[in-house]
């Protein structure tokens, strides 16, 4: 990414009205176009000496097929012309476009790029909500200047300083701003003010409205509702009778009604979890529990880092046929220890698994508490204070010297046996966190 330049004079952007009058809200929604692919293209062009812009050819960021992560994560506009879709397998995408260039994901790069993007947004307002890695809401209420011109300035600076194109939606609420940014052509500014709803929003297919998934679309289509405008005019009693409160909510959205605030601070976690897709189907409970241990390591490390404890542990399994099942257990006392979370996860697994080959495993926790101390229980199976010191010391070592500095013995390969399981698995796999570009063809 480019080094971020600073405005010579931001007073016209950051200065706000100081009178006590109630101002009409102005909200921006900014969305980086094909974020992963754009960030990858910029990095290769400006940091690795590449000459070919991935955004100008049929290309995509995709996972590792050998590890069953072989799906399209982001695609270029030329790839879209071949009907390549995000979320489909690389095999399917290659069938549509044999010349498709696939590059591996680098989440470490994407996180750095996302931070630079959010930092730039904060130069326009101190009220910024990061909605996802490549999306943000900015509350521009009270900022001096024409909102559309400010949005164009933000768009221009993203291109000049970060090298990426963005869409900016402008409205009086988050919902309409997001709907605005997703409409029209890429790399541009789109307004969707309340007075523009009938012209710009209502003709769109109903499934394009925020909060409407495939099941809701099918139900609405069954009522003869095809457009957002038709939904906006449905009778409240009919909607509630057939869809309960969800029906009333999406009708409000169809009419552009949304009072949600731009949230500058992330809400507290209601649970912690992690999951993984195994490289091959698992039919051995010993191997499955080794995966659970690796997941327990990452989940408990996050708990300790944030000073949190949990009371409920659940295990989820997706089998070779993609069928899902789950089971949970409640602990006597809250914990943040790997050994205790793993022990409960194993009990859940034993009560849940029927021997069907496993494709995906997950550990999830809930009933979070921030209590610093833990009451000693007669039923404790471990010395909590002693074990907490051990696991905290391991956390410190891993943070200072890398997460591989300390491993449990069962994850260490020997001459007799090779361990293929990452001792801290789940979430973004290690091969996606960074890329060895010396092994990549940089064109």
- pLDDT tens for each residue of 233-279: 999 999 999 999 999 999 999 999 999 999 998 888 999 999 998 98
- What is residue 13's predicted lDDT score, i.e. its pLDDT? 40
More confident residue, 372 or 38: 38
Considering the domain architecture, whether residues 249 and 342 belong to the same structural domain is answered as: no
Mean predicted confidence (pLDDT) in 99-122:
96
- What is residue 76's predicted lDDT score, i.e. its pLDDT? 96
Considering the domain architecture, whether residues 278 and 250 belong to the same structural domain is answered as: no
The 3-state secondary structure of the chain reads CCCCCCCCCCHHHHCECCCCCCCCCCEEEEEECCHHHHHHHHHHHHCCCCCCCHHHCCEEEECCHHHCCCEEEEECHHHHCCCCCCCCEHHHHHHHCCCCEEECCCHHHHHHHHHHHHHHHCCCCCCEEEEECCEEEEECCCECCCHHHHHHHHHHHHHHHHCCCEEEEEECCHHHHHHHHCCCCCCCEEECCHHHHHHHHCCCEHHHCCCCCHHHHHHHHHCCCCEHHHHHCCCHHHHHHHHHHHHHHHHHHHCCCCCCCCCCCCCCCCEEEEEEEEEEEECCHHHHHHHHHHHHHHHHHHHHHCCCEEEEEEEEEEECCCCEEEEEEEEEEEECCHHHHHHHHHHHHHHHCCCCCEEEEEEEEEEEECCCCCCCCCCCCCCHHHHHHHHHHHHHHHHHHCCCCCCCHHHCCCCCCCCCCCCCCCCCCHHHHCCCHHHCCCC
Mean predicted confidence (pLDDT) in 381-396:
94
pTM of the model: 0.85
Residue 346 within a domain? yes
The residue among 56, 79, 106 that closes a domain is 106
Number of independent structural domains in the chain: 3
Considering the domain architecture, whether residues 242 and 331 belong to the same structural domain is answered as: no
Residue 342 within a domain? yes
Mean predicted confidence (pLDDT) in 287-291:
96
Considering the domain architecture, whether residues 417 and 361 belong to the same structural domain is answered as: yes
- Residue 58, domain extent: 35-106
Mean predicted confidence (pLDDT) in 154-175:
98
Summarize pLDDT for 9-64 with one digit per residue, the tens: 444 444 433 333 346 899 999 999 999 999 999 999 999 999 999 999 999 999 87
Catalytic (active-site) positions:
135
Residue 138 within a domain? no
Considering the domain architecture, whether residues 381 and 413 belong to the same structural domain is answered as: yes
- What is residue 3's predicted lDDT score, i.e. its pLDDT? 38
- What is residue 66's predicted lDDT score, i.e. its pLDDT? 64
Could you tell me the CATH number of the domain that includes residue 342? Answer: 3.30.1490.100
Considering the domain architecture, whether residues 421 and 283 belong to the same structural domain is answered as: yes
Considering the domain architecture, whether residues 386 and 413 belong to the same structural domain is answered as: yes
Considering the domain architecture, whether residues 206 and 316 belong to the same structural domain is answered as: no
Residue 119 within a domain? no
């Amino acid at each position: 990414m480019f080094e971020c330049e600073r405005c010579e004079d931001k007073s016209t952007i950051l200065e706000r009205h100081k009178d006590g009058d109630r101002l009409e809200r102005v909200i921006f929604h900014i969305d980086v176009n094909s974020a992963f692919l754009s960030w990858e293209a910029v990095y290769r062009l400006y940091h690795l000496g590449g000459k070919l812009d991935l955004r100008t050819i049929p290309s995509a960021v995709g996972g590792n097929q050998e590890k069953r992560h072989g799906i399209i994560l982001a695609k270029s506009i030329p790839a879209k012309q071949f009907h390549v879709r995000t979320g489909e397998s690389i095999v399917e995408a290659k069938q549509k476009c044999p010349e498709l260039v696939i590059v591996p994901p680098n989440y470490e790069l994407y996180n750095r790029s996302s931070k630079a993007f959010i930092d730039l947004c904060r130069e326009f307002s101190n009220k910024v909500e990061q909605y996802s890695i490549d999306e943000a809401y900015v509350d521009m209420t009270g900022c001096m200047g024409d909102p559309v011109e400010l949005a164009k300035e933000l768009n221009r600076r993203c291109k000049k300083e970060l090298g990426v194109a963005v869409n900016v939606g402008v409205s009086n609420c988050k919902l309409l701003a997001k709907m605005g940014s997703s409409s029209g052509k890429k790399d541009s500014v789109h307004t969707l003010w309340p007075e523009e709803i009938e012209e710009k929003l209502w003709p769109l297919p109903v499934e394009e409205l925020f909060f409407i998934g495939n099941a809701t679309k099918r139900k609405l289509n069954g009522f003869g509702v095809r457009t957002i405008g038709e939904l906006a005019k449905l009778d409240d009693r009919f909607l509630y009778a057939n869809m309960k409160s969800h029906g009333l909510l999406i009708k409000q959205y169809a009419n552009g009604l949304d009072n949600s605030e731009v949230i500058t601070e992330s809400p507290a976690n209601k649970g912690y979890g992690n999951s993984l897709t195994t490289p091959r189907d698992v039919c051995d409970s010993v191997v499955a529990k080794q995966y659970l241990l690796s997941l327990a390591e990452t989940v408990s490390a996050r708990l300790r880092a944030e000073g949190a404890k949990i009371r409920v542990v659940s295990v989820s399994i997706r089998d070779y046929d993609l069928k899902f099942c789950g089971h949970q257990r409640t602990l006597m006392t809250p914990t943040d220890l790997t050994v205790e979370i793993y022990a409960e996860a194993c009990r859940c697994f034993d009560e849940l698994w029927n021997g069907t080959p496993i494709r995906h495993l997950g550990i999830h926790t809930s009933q979070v508490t921030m209590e610093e101390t833990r009451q000693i229980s007669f039923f404790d199976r471990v010395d909590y204070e002693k074990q907490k010191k051990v696991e905290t010391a391991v956390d410190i070592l891993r943070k200072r010297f890398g997460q591989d500095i300390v491993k449990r013995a069962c994850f260490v390969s020997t001459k007799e046996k090779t361990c293929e399981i990452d001792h801290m698995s789940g979430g973004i796999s290690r091969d996606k966190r960074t890329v060895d570009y010396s092994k990549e063809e940089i064109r």
